[in-house]
Amino acid sequence: MAILVTGGAGFIGSNFVLDWLTHEQQPVVVLDKLTYAGNPENLKSIHQDPRFTFVRGDIADRALTSRLLAEHSIQAVVNFAAESHVDRSILGPGEFIQTNVVGTFELLEAVRAYWGGLDASARDAFRFLHVSTDEVYGSLDADAPAFTETHRYEPNSPYSASKAASDHLVRAYHHTYGVPVLTTNCSNNYGPYHFPEKLIPLMILNALAGKPLPVYGDGKNVRDWLYVTDHCSAIRRVLAAGKPGHVYNVGGNNEMTNLEVVQTLCTMLDALRPLPAGRSYWEQVTFVKDRPGHDRRYAIDASLLERELGWKPAETFESGIRKTVAWYLANPQWVEGVVSGNYREWVARQYGS
Ligand code: NAD
Ligand code: DAU
| pLDDT tens for each residue of 68-127 | 999 999 999 999 999 999 999 999 999 999 999 999 999 999 999 999 999 999 999 999
Pick from 15, 8, 4, 5: which is nearest to 194 by CA?
15
CATH 3.40.190.10 fits 2-190+228-251+294-314+341-351, yes or no: no
Q: Closest ligand 2 atom to the C-alpha of 351?
A: 36
Pick from 207, 212, 297, 197: which is nearest to 257 by CA?
297
| 290: amino acid identity, one letter | D
Residues 6+ apart with CB under 8 A from 135: 86, 155, 156, 157, 159, 160, 163, 295, 298
Ligand 2 pocket check for 134: Cβ under 6 Å: yes
| 173: amino acid identity, one letter | Y
Which pTM does this prediction carry?
0.97
Mean confidence (pLDDT) of the chain: 96
| 70: amino acid identity, one letter | A
How do residues 17-28 score in pLDDT, each as one tens digit? 999 999 999 999
Taking the centre of ligand 2 as the mean of its atom positions, its distance from the CA of residue 188, in whole angstroms, is 8
Neighbours of 212 (CB within 10 A): 14
- What percentage of the chain has pLDDT greater than the value 70? 99
pLDDT at residue 351, rounded to an integer: 72
Quick check: 201 pLDDT over 90? yes
Q: How far apart are CA 107 and CA 92, in angstroms?
A: 23
Active site residue 19: no
CA-closest residue to ligand 2 atom 8 = 84
Q: CA torsion sign, 109 to 115 to 118 to 119?
A: negative
Active site residue 351: no
How do residues 130-180 score in pLDDT, each as one tens digit? 999 999 999 999 999 999 999 999 999 999 999 999 999 999 999 999 999
Q: Closest ligand 1 atom to the C-alpha of 198?
A: 41
Give the ligand at the shortest distance from the Cα of 4.
1
- Using DSSP's 3-state secondary structure scheme, residue 281 falls into helix
Ligand 1 pocket check for 79: Cβ under 6 Å: no
Q: How far apart are CA 124 and CA 276, in angstroms?
A: 62
Spot the catalytic one: 58, 87, 106, 134. 134
Ligand 2 pocket check for 198: Cβ under 6 Å: yes
Quick check: 341 pLDDT over 80? no
**Please, what is the end-to-end C-alpha distance for the chain in angstroms?**
50
Active site residue 114: no
Pick from 226, 204, 227, 229: which is nearest to 330 by CA?
204
Residues 6+ apart with CB under 8 A from 47: none
CA-closest residue to ligand 2 atom 34 = 215
Provide the residue ranges of all domains of the chain, joining segments of one domain with +: 2-190+228-251+294-314+341-351
pLDDT band with cut points at 50, 70 and 90 for residue 353: low
Pick from 104, 156, 151: which is nearest to 131 by CA?
104
Residues 6+ apart with CB under 8 A from 341: none
